[in-house]
Structure 1
């Protein structure tokens, strides 16, 4: 298996852990008999394991999320973006819409979002808000 891809998967899971440990605690179902969702690579494909349904979702297109994913559309787009980052190593924040980690619809405190954005930049998921704005004209400052 590609060691770089495994490393990006590990980093992506660190980002998910951060998202799950603050604010609304998206992806965290530990209090409901589940666990924090996470990425894994099986047979060269990137999957997201939903912490509530406990089902593996092939994180490639929207069609694989039906009845398996317990978060909303913003987080689904984020998962698709992160999965593409794992596969390619490219900065893919907001490629699937909703502004990604710069979206103001999460409802997270500003301090938490700042930590999430810093971690995303640290691992290479985003280059910066400015570059994401240039790539994706629907992100609003």
Structure 2
């Protein structure tokens, strides 16, 4: 990564403050009860583009989780979060977002980190509600 890209990435982070997160959509279902043994957890994510309106920045982060065992789906889970940020320094943010690499790094790597702890809790709760043993997703690195 270029030094300029990393500096712009840091400026993006310095220009905003995480304000709130809301669940826009959530759904989950169990296909069948798991047997004893190993399970596989597959996680997919999709992040929208940034929406800047005056001093607020909004972005949607969607996650899909599938639990499989013996190549059969056991459970599916989907959630879409709307993340809101207060913009502290609008001019700096707009300038830094012009660096497409820094913007991409922020959207693809940083936005999921803001949502991850909420995803872990919501997924664990969904497992319990469906009668599965609670599953805690690993921490995001």
State the structure with bigger RCO (CA 8 A, min sep 6), 1 or 2. 2
TM over 0.5: no
Kindly name which structure, 1 or 2, has the bigger radius of gyration based on alpha carbons.
2
When you count helix as a share of all residues, which structure comes out higher?
Answer: 1
When you count strand as a share of all residues, which structure comes out higher?
Answer: 2
Compute the TM-score of the two structures, normalised by the length of structure 1. Answer: 0.24
